[in-house]
Structure 1
Amino acid sequence: MAENRRVRWGVAGCVVAVAGGVLTASDAITPEPIGPAVLQVRQWSRVITLTSSGGGATATLEHGQQGDSVWLERSTDGGASPAESADTGAESGPDTAERLVPGTAERLVPDTAEHLVPDTAERLVPGTVAAQQTVAHTGFRPYAGGMLRACGKPGDRDAIRCTRWFAEGEAAADRRQRAVERLLDSYDHAAGRWENGTSIWQSANALTALIDYMARTGDRQYLGYIDETYEHGMVAQTGVPRQTGYNDDELWWALAWIDAFDLTADQRYLQAARIIVDGLDDQHAAFCDGGIAWARMGVDPQSRPWTQVNAITNALYLTATAQLSTRVDSVSRPAYSARALRTREWFTDRAGRALLDPSGLINDHLDQYGDTCVPADAETRWTYVQGAMISGLVAEYRATRQAGLLTVADSIAAAATGPRSPFLRDGVLSEPAATNCPGPECKDAETFKGVFVRSYRDLLDTGRSKVATEEFLSRQVNSLIGKSDAYGFRWGAVPDSNDRPNYATQAAALDALNAAD
């Protein structure tokens, strides 16, 4: 899937939005200055924000609907009471929190006297989403000392969600969570994906980065984004928000849904992945010895004759089939195992062998030449191709426990991160073949390094790799320098006017932050 050939997507439209008043960006070298404090939680895609500065605070709820409410609470026990959970719907303890700014009494103030707003509390404008609106706020509430938090409640659900308790002047929130918040700033709620799906496959990777964050941290406040994405477009029928005609695009979504299933045990997500993978049974290219074609039925969406079989599509297919073989019912497992084996053997024994470079790296793709296939652009290599192949081998290892698969994965990792790697600059990952990056024509390559570090982490997590190290991943994270918690294409440099962060570059940075955990 050579980047210079992939011109089917427009530029990722808007730069990652930054919430007003958010703290100045932190990087691995420069400490974070303390400014106006912004704490956020998310509840079924609603954003609940506490902003504190100048001796006071406000609470805001965004992306809501009529009847949603938001309010401030002040602790009377030093913040010992926990934040309410989106999963349990627990209310505040009766004696531990004073509700300063309630929403509508009918919805939010329970009948018990302990929960009622005391007479000494100033009742401000209720923070309730009005008809035809999506935002509610409380107005500014002066306070002197103590612990504050913002809480919100969807009008159509029982659960209440609160930020953590906050004391004026304390340090900023966790860097990784701030990166998540900036990623979610560009989520398009109308479309159910990032930036209206300008690049369908990159939106799947953004969802994967978000899911990985939740899996690794235990923070479940963003679960609503998985469900919201699933409910849009054609996912229930086809597994993807919309079909692009490219098999690799669909396989990225299959992997995202498998990760969603692993996190939630929701069978809908597993079924979406199976719909995608099962729909590729007829996509083996006769002219390339059985590899999965890049474009559906051998013709791309622009109706040109298409004769490419690439490494990325087949590596993703290997990963998806191997992962499904350990998650579906016992009757269905052998079929997925057989597909995974057939795909790996395509790389080792059939036409795909030509993609395995003597350097240990994986070349990009094969083009039809008569009745066979030959490597094209042999010197054009991408980090994400190496990563996807590593993940495929790791997935099959987990399914079969064949140690030799990790030996091959190690060899790819060593070639990609060793002294002769074309991908490292001063020890930091780069994409030398991405001649249009950074810039408005960069497109696909903005995601590539994130895929690699995610896959490298997969290898490290086996506990059996002789190559993968925590130090390599820490080096990548330490290279990230953002502006207002938003990260551009270059790792190891501050984003400049030509390197504008967007959701794809932000998701790749989040992948690095996740992988180093």
Structure 2
Amino acid sequence: MLAAVAASAPAAAADGGVCNTYCDARDPANALKDRVPVTATLHGRAMALHVDDGSAMAFGTLDNVVPGDKIWVDRSFDGGRTWDGGSRLGDTTAPGGVGGWRTQMYNVDDWNTGRIGALRACAQVTGDDDIACTGWARSDWNGADRRQAAATALMMDYDRKTGLFGGDGWWTSANALTALIDTIRRTGVKSYAYAVDETYDKNKDRTDGGRLGQFRNEYLDDTGWWGLAWVKAYDLTGDARYLDTARADADHMAGYWTDTCGGGVQWKTDTAYKNAVTNELYIALNAALHNRTEGDTRYLDRANSGWNWLRGSGMINGKHLVNDGLNDSCKNNGQPTWTYNQGVILGGLAELHRATGDDALLRGARELADASTGSGDLNPGGILREPGESHSCTGDGPSFKGAYVRGLGALNRELDGHPYDGYLTKQADTAYAKDRNALDQYGPHWNGDRGDGPGHGCQHSALDLLNAAP
């Protein structure tokens, strides 16, 4: 426990001051709901970040001070990666005759600009150049439950200049946006719904880097991810432009269905490779469009053709797991059974079942789901782990598990008795207990060891998991 703080630093003007309900440099004596989420020590002094959840502000304290010790707070608007100009908000020096010292209170977020923030307390002791800081933390604003808290942490990675997550993440941003939309629909909290319009408006006409406008892409799987994201956006908003874009995406993919290996959509516009995820996305997107297009037969025909081809293609191996694709001889190439290849098809078959009522689709989906949830290779110790899972949250791989649990969750909701409730609950509870920091940021390993996180791939995957769990 910290010793009682004897006095408070006088109010100090801060560069770039923020005013929400209250303005920066508010007296901590006015704190309404004081909580201490993170602490640290430096040369025998104990420091803490105090978060006032009642005002969404925070302040730092330093215990066992001697005259000349300094305490301040840093504020970051990107999850602790950077902080403004060295920050040092409320930088104050302890006088003589006190046992503890503290800063004024500073806002965690900037509601006027939509910036989502985090604070930490830092200190430097008299006569020493060393500086130590607590971890980053924030208020429980938009964090009433674990889904909302994880969504808020995900939005720390949203770049309002590009309208994408992680600065310029492309297909991974489609997945992150999908996870965000699912959270809005599950919780009813629409604080971050602005990201749907922003993402669309800032990227719909992009034609750089293989992009072809309307979220079409030379990579057909990228096109499929965005198509499904815009279906979700349509379900959330009812805005027809999102469904129109999803249709354009599906039509673009259909243009690259070829006779190579007897059918299927190729992976890239100039590459004949037939892989699993592209065709699973094709099935899911066309089935979803059928279910939202009155009188449709075209999208349903595509979805049925896609599933009939995929299940006979050889990509589903003898263990009922899906390998990456087909080799030049149109045989299973034996490449890893990435988790997203096991999951996207589950959501697609659930959507196709809603379109047709054919229970054989659910039986096929359950066979695949039982194989992946029961695989010791994919679930060492009972917790999902990507083949060759990296310690990093950057790149493509961290998004794979999110796509898996999203698809499994969709199938689970379609099935009587929800047979995968137990599996999804175990995954979610484990990740929440072992793979989460004070900012509700998640790392790559749900069973612990947060690796080199954070990043939007790891974060949306965890959010997908929390959304999929009952």
Change (3 A) 1:153 1:310: same
Q: CA offsets per residue over residues 226-282 of structure 1, 9 Å max, x none? A: 011011123599896765520000100000000111111111111110111112222
Superposition map of 1:362-441 within 5 A: 362-369=322-329, 373-376=330-333, 378=334, 380-418=336-374, 420-434=375-389, 437-439=390-392
Quote how far apart the aligned CAs of 1:375 are. Answer: 1.6
User: Residue 461 of structure 1 aligns with which residue?
Assistant: 413
User: Residue 178 of structure 1 aligns with which residue?
Assistant: 149
User: Residue 274 of structure 2 aligns with which residue?
Assistant: 309
Q: CA offsets per residue over residues 308-359 of structure 1, 9 Å max, x none? A: 10010000000000010010232xx11111111111111234xx2x112111
Quote how far apart the aligned CAs of 1:427 are. Answer: 0.9
User: Residue 318 of structure 2 aligns with which residue?
Assistant: 358
Please say if 1:489 is aligned against 2:444.
Answer: yes
Please say if 1:511 is aligned against 2:454.
Answer: no
Q: CA offsets per residue over residues 73-96 of structure 1, 9 Å max, x none? A: xxxxxxxxxxxxxxxxxxxxxxxx
Superposition map of 1:77-226 within 5 A: 173-197=144-168, 199-226=169-196
CA contact under 8 A between 2:59 and 2:105: conserved in structure 1? no
Change (3 A) 1:185 1:239: farther
CA contact under 8 A between 1:439 and 1:500: conserved in structure 2? yes
Quote how far apart the aligned CAs of 1:462 are. Answer: 1.1
Quote how far apart the aligned CAs of 1:200 are. Answer: 1.0
Change (3 A) 1:414 1:235: farther
Percent identity between matched residues is 32
CA contact under 8 A between 1:423 and 1:429: conserved in structure 2? yes
Quote how far apart the aligned CAs of 1:34 are. Answer: 9.0
Q: Give the match's secondary structure for 1:447.
A: helix
> 1 CA distance for matches of 2:178 and 2:140?
34
Gap regions ≥5 residues in structure 2: 1-23, 25-33, 39-47, 62-74, 79-102, 115-138
Gap regions ≥5 residues in structure 1: 1-19, 26-32, 40-48, 64-138, 143-147, 156-167, 300-305
Please say if 1:51 is aligned against 2:57.
Answer: yes
CA contact under 8 A between 1:226 and 1:260: conserved in structure 2? yes
Superposition map of 1:279-294 within 5 A: 279-294=252-267
Quote how far apart the aligned CAs of 1:173 are. Answer: 4.0
Change (3 A) 1:239 1:205: farther
Q: Which amino acid aligns with 1:226?
A: V
Change (3 A) 1:223 1:416: same
> 2 CA distance for matches of 1:476 and 1:35?
31
> 2 CA distance for matches of 1:429 and 1:169?
29
Quote how far apart the aligned CAs of 1:393 are. Answer: 0.7
Q: Give the match's secondary structure for 2:303.
A: helix
Q: Give the match's secondary structure for 2:267.
A: coil
> 2 CA distance for matches of 1:429 and 1:152?
37
Change (3 A) 1:454 1:235: farther
Q: CA offsets per residue over residues 477-504 of structure 1, 9 Å max, x none? A: 12212123111111111314xx322011
User: Residue 301 of structure 2 aligns with which residue?
Assistant: 338
Q: Which amino acid aligns with 1:50?
A: A
Q: Which amino acid aligns with 2:57?
A: T
Give me the CA root mean square deviation.
3.6
User: Residue 274 of structure 1 aligns with which residue?
Assistant: 247
Q: Which amino acid aligns with 2:461?
A: A
Q: Quick one: which of 478, 486, 492 aligns to 2:429?
A: 478
Quote how far apart the aligned CAs of 1:154 are. Answer: 8.2
| Equivalent pairs, count | 362
Q: Give the match's secondary structure for 1:375.
A: coil
Q: Quick one: which of 214, 221, 227 aligns to 2:197?
A: 227
Quote how far apart the aligned CAs of 1:453 are. Answer: 1.1
Q: Which amino acid aligns with 1:233?
A: N
Q: CA offsets per residue over residues 37-62 of structure 1, 9 Å max, x none? A: 358xxxxxxxxx8215589xxxx9x8
Q: Which amino acid aligns with 1:193?
A: L
- With structure 2 as the length reference, what TM-score do the two structures score? 0.69
Q: Quick one: which of 398, 411, 418 aligns to 1:446?
A: 398
Change (3 A) 1:462 1:51: same
Quote how far apart the aligned CAs of 1:141 are. Answer: 7.7
Quote how far apart the aligned CAs of 1:151 are. Answer: 10
Runs of 4+ that moved beyond 6 A = 20-23, 139-142, 148-151, 236-239
> 1 CA distance for matches of 2:53 and 2:227?
35
